[in-house]
Amino acid sequence: MSKRGRQPHGEDDAASGRGALPALRHNRLIETLQEHGQATVNELVDLFDVSRDTIRRDLDLLERRGLLVRTHGGAVNNDRLVRLDSTLGRRMDEHVDAKRRIGETAATLVRDGETLIINGGSTVYHFASALGDRRNLTVVTNNLRVPPAVPESAVQAIHILGGTYWPQFQVTIGTIGFSPVAGINVDTAILGCTGISATGVSMTKLDEAAHTSGMVDVAKRTIVVADQSKFNVKAFANVATLERIDHLVTDHAPPPDLAAALDRAGVHVTICG
């Protein structure tokens, strides 16, 4: 798209006849966020062929109206706030096809005979369901949906981590270990999350984030499974920096800023078909 003739100092391009009219642009902007979950300022500038200042004013206005949520460098769809703290049952119904494909792809990264530690969440449920080609796995989890999901032929043992049961998320939260054993060691941690950004992997609940961070501590490698709606989301509590993540399995190429951060951290990104 040509950007010649832009008016200086952030003057509104639509008012001078270029780009979409403001009301139409606002509607299309909201539709873009509803379709993709998020967008950066640069992406919106290219989409609407207006200045960065115009897009920033649009985003500020739409946020004041409660139609989106501003983030550093862009915006997310307003219903992201609901998804950040929704129950597992609700999350199981969101992005089902993407989560299934992510789970199937992540399962191919697992080797026979591994010991896996798996946290709570809906995407890891699809991962567990896709382990039918593996054999002799040992599974450690606090996710009570995982044991019935794992094909019987794939596992030799499943260990449930104890602690307080959170019914809305169907997980237990407690010390990662088995009494009287002081600690455990596993081959691979498979983690779902609320968000993944340049600052790392994050979750909404502080206790769950601390528990999940403990899973990273005991694992030789860590695989994060996250669909594109989690990109550039910074939830309340950090789980781990990107440097502590080995693989990210997702359904879409991360936006450029996140992709650069993942590359610097040495995270191998696998995009499922």
Closest CA to 195 of 237, 142, 144: 237
Tell me which of 109-113, 182-186, 251-255, 265-269 is least confident: 182-186
Res. 84 pLDDT band, cuts 50 70 90:
very low
Measured CA to CA in angstroms, residue 106 lies from 10, 33, 111, 185, 264 at distances of 45, 27, 11, 20, 22
Q: Residue with structure tokens 């985003």?
A: 59
What was the pLDDT predicted at 109? 98
Cα–Cα distances in Å, from 90 out to 13, 33, 74, 96, 212?
A: 41, 20, 26, 11, 21
Tens-digit pLDDT profile for residues 28-72: 998 888 777 788 899 999 999 999 999 999 998 888 877 888 877
The CATH code of the domain at 88-271 is 3.40.50.1360
Sign of CA dihedral 269, 70, 124, 117: positive
Q: Give the start-to-end residue ranges of the domains of the chain.
A: 14-78, 88-271
Sign for the pseudo-dihedral over CA of 161, 148, 109, 264 = negative
Q: Note the pTM of the prediction, 2 decimals.
A: 0.68
Domain 14-78 is found in CATH 1.10.630.10 = no
Condensed to tens digits (0 to 9), the pLDDT of residues 191-228 reads 999 999 999 999 988 888 999 999 999 999 999 999 99
Residue 262, classed as helix, strand or coil, is helix
